Structure formats: structure tokens, C-alpha cells
Structure 1
Amino acid sequence: MRRAVDSVFKGIFLILLGIVFFANMYGFLPWNFWSNVLDLWPLLLIFAGLALFFNKRIPFSAVLVAFLIGLVGYSLVWGSPVPDRWLPGAHGSGQALELAAPLDPQVEKARLTLNLGGVAMSVQGVDGRSEPGQLAKGTYEWNGSANYGSPEFNYKTDGDTTKLEFNSEKRTRSGENKLLLNLSDQVHYTQVELNAGAVQGAMDFSRLQIEELDISTGASDIELRFGDTGGRTKLDLSTGATKLNLIVPESVGLKINMSGIASETNFAGDGLILSSQDWVSPNYEAARTKIDMDISMAAGKINLERIPAPIQSNGNTQSL
């Protein structure tokens, strides 16, 4: 009898989990709702204790169902979902930290590390000629008090390289944070690293030359945009339940290796060819810019958009 009850609750849990993922993907429930697990994990101990109290007559699958229902209810009533679109300059109440790092004349390279919790973000490369002395500039905004010290932004220059690091992980409450960061395109980025919880927003690297791009997130709704900047970029992306939008110029050679359970991709329809275990664009070998992607995803959707290749006209980048 207990085994039959356990099977029923396992089925109910999978059905509810699927409903939650659909609600995430179609905007009925924000992706950062998963960050509330950090607030509610003690409920698991309480429910498990109740199961033991009743001599294990309550299966663990029922505990998971109760926890998931509690998580959804908490998120809808008390959670602070990230807005669908965060417009730079539109700041709400709360605290803000200005982020700024100078660009020394001898600096040619940079490394950036972002350690974040749940966040709505906009990170982009900008024309550094407008502010030749500025390597990075932006703001970080959060509501409420910091938990383990205030967020920190540090930079250090050693020879021709500047290392940038921003740390807000576990310091501010998830789901109430906003990051806007502009990066100068006047240097070469040897590494950009993002470690985050639930993320919603965009990272526009279309102006930047990046060697290594390492991204590790929880449940996310994120857009990554690349440009035909020359050179080679290695992307390592590890994420949970995610909606991922990749925007890559047609002129860029693209190779994608997938692992995990991506519920939906459009690689074949966008001209990529499955070769061994990699999805490869036909122009990969001849392209002046190559991007190699290793994507590990628990579940979700990946949309690849191949946009017209940019051209150079009178010193300005335009689209065909």
C-alpha cells in the first residue's frame, strides 16, 4: 500500500514540476522564483521530521510535493519577482553601489569575475573611445539590508592586465537586485566569469574580444549576444532550468556541444549541422571569428538567432 502511495506522489510531483517549468518558460512565474529555495529549505527538514514522526507512513515524494507547493505559494505571495524588462536608469527604492574602474594607458587586457545571487542584469560592451579613461562603469542596486557585508567591487592592475571583481553573492536578498555594467571595447578580455543564482537579463558582447567566457547559473532567462570581432571565444555554460537566447552573426563560425536535457533547440533549423556530438555551422573552418560552446543544461529551451553579418563603413559598424 505504501509503495502505491509513494508512486502516486512521485507522479504528482513530476506533473507539478512540469507545470512550474511551463509557467517559467511562458512568463506566468518568474525564473528567479527558484531562488526562494534558499529561504524555504528549512521546510524540507520540517516535512521530513513529520514523516518520521508518523513512522515513515508519509513517503518522501509527498514531502517534495508539499515543499514545491509551499515554494510556489511563497513566491506568489511574498516573493519579489524580477521585472520582465529592466530599463537602465530606471531605479527603484533601495541602496545603490556605483561601479567604476579606470583604464590605465598601459593596460591592454582585462579579466572580469561576477559573483552574484539572484539578479536582473544588463552587461554590455560599449565604445571606449567616448570615455578613453574608463574600463568599466555601472551600478548595482538592491533593496533591504545586506546579509554578510555590503556588495564589493574591486579592481587591480598588474602590468598590462586589469582584474575586475564584483561580489554580491549571499550578501543581498535574491530577486531584488539589479546590475548594470558597461565594459570598454578598448581592451582584450582574457576571461569573463559569471557565477550567479537566478538570472534574468542580457549580456551583449558584440563589441568585445573575449577568449574565455565561463557562465554558471541556476534557473535563468538570459540572452547572450556576440559579434564578429575576430579571434576565438570559448564558452562554457552550466545552468539549471533555463530559457537561453543566443544571438550570433551569420559570418561567425559556431560549434556547439550539448549535454544535459535541453527540452528544445532550433539548431538544425538555423543552419547548423550535427557532426559527431557537435552542432557546427558550415562556415566554421573559414570564419575569422570562431565561437566554441559547451552547454550543460538541466532543462529548458535554447533559441539560436543568426543575424546579418556586420560591415565596416566610415569607421562605424553597420548591418547588411
Structure 2
Amino acid sequence: MPVTTGEEISASERTLASTFTGHRSHLVGVAYRLTGSVADAEDAVQEAWLRLTGLSREGRAGIRDLRGWLTTVVGRICLDRLRSAASRRERYVGQWLPEPLVTSGEDDPLDAVVRDDGVRMAALVVLDRLTPEQRVAFVLHDAFGVPFAEIADALGCAVATARQHASRGRKAAAEADPPPRVALEEQREVLERFLRAVASGDVNAVIGVLHPDAVLVGDGGGRAKTAFNVVSGADKVARLILGLMRRYGDVEGRPVLVNGDLGLLFTAQGELTPRVEAVVVRDGKVAGVYDMSNPDKLGHVPFPEGP
């Protein structure tokens, strides 16, 4: 039996840690896309690291594709979290939205995650409608190319069943038809027109920059004020927004990147509690506003001091 020195073990562990760090951004992206939760994503990646380091040297040597192995492990961990979250969502007050990823665009470590088109808010909202099995199978296969045999192992089902889960998730996503991501310059132009219309207080002006099928979805979790039900249609959305402006007064939202798209960040201002708004653009108009004000989902958001 070969003798392994402490120095060799230490060097091996450092190499493993360095290799894992190289995959970390990818793994966080996988976990966030599967759970819609920043905290759950971070925990899943940490758990994957612990499972990797818990293997024997022989076990690690038997891993032919470490990135693929870690992706599947993260998928299995996220499946457990999705299943346990299902009952919590049934008791949730109001609408449920994913936790927003607010980035600066300036060497932000999450930039690699939000560049993925599948992480945009409109796409994540669709994924939230899938069963845990459909979400894991669909995302792991279609987005990350994990073979169905490995997905079936993660789900604890037959390969044919894993294929069926992915197919149903794919069909649901296609039928939902979330708006595709548009260029940031177009988003900026639409957002500026929208803010000018809101500032004017003219309901017709606001309706003019909203898509006919515009929706406003709020997530306060019973802990912060926002729309309790989904508001649909340009007229209803416009009147709600202007009503809120009259109630809260002259509040200022800072343009930020929310899941890779332009949105607004509001600090506490008067009666208005801190929140993040993701804005979705379609056909040159605002098609969706996702208002996230539940403080439990904003703990990771870098709110600046002051309004």
C-alpha cells in the first residue's frame, strides 16, 4: 500500500478546492435556476462541496467528469429543497416570486449567473409553476445537457419517466411563452419612457407604454405591502401604479440590473418599504412588473444607504 504524506494530501486538497472554485459560478447558476432562491443555491453548492470532500480518494478518482458530477449532485440537493418548499408555498400569503439577483454589472461575481437567458425573471416565474421533478429534469437536460440516465438517478425514477418529466416541463414553458430578453439599450429606452409617463400622472400616457397584456405581480409574503393578486391588463396596471404613486408620494427608484435585465431598486422612503422591481419588455413596451418586497427574500440585496 503506498504511503501518502501530509504534504501530498494538502496539495491534493488545495488542487481540489481550486478546481471546485472554478466550477462554483456554474453550480450557483444551476442551483438558483432550479430553486429561485439565492440562499438555497448557496447552501446547495456548499453541500455539494461537502459531499465531494467526503468521498475517499478512490471515489474521487472514479469521477470522470467532475463538472457533470457536481451538476447532478446539485440537482439532487435542489430537488429535495423544492419538495420541502412545496408545502410552504401552499401556506404562503399572496403571490410567490423568485428571489431577485441584483448586480452592478461591474465585476460582480454573480454576473456570470445572470447572463444566462434562463435566469431572467420572466423565465423563472414560469419554472415556479412546474412540479419539482419537471423543473429538475427540464432544466438539467435542456439547459445543462445532463444525460437522462443521470437525471433519472437524481430523481429516483426510470429513464423513461425522467424523459416524461422533462417533456412536460418543456411543454409548459413553451405554452407560457415568457418574453425573450431584449437588448439593454432597448430596455433602457422603454424604462425611461415608462418612468416619464408615470411621473406625468396621466393614465393614458402610462397605458401607452404598457403592453396590452401587461401584468403586475407583487410578492410581500404577508410582511410588506404590495399587490395581493395578479393585476392583468394595461388599464388596470396603469391605474394601480398611479394610485400607488399618489399614496406614497414622490419616491425614487434606482435603475439596477435585476436578473440581468433593467429594473428598479427602492430603499425605505416614508411608508414605502424596501423593494426590488423587475421590469419585463416585450414589443417595445412594458409587459410585466414584478414587485418583490418580502424582506425574507431581500436579505442578499445590496441596498444603498439613503433613498
Greater strand proportion? 1
Greater helix proportion? 2
TM-score between both structures, scaled by the size of structure 2: 0.28
TM-score between both structures, scaled by the size of structure 1: 0.27
Greater relative CO, 1 or 2 (CA 8 Å, sep 6+): 2
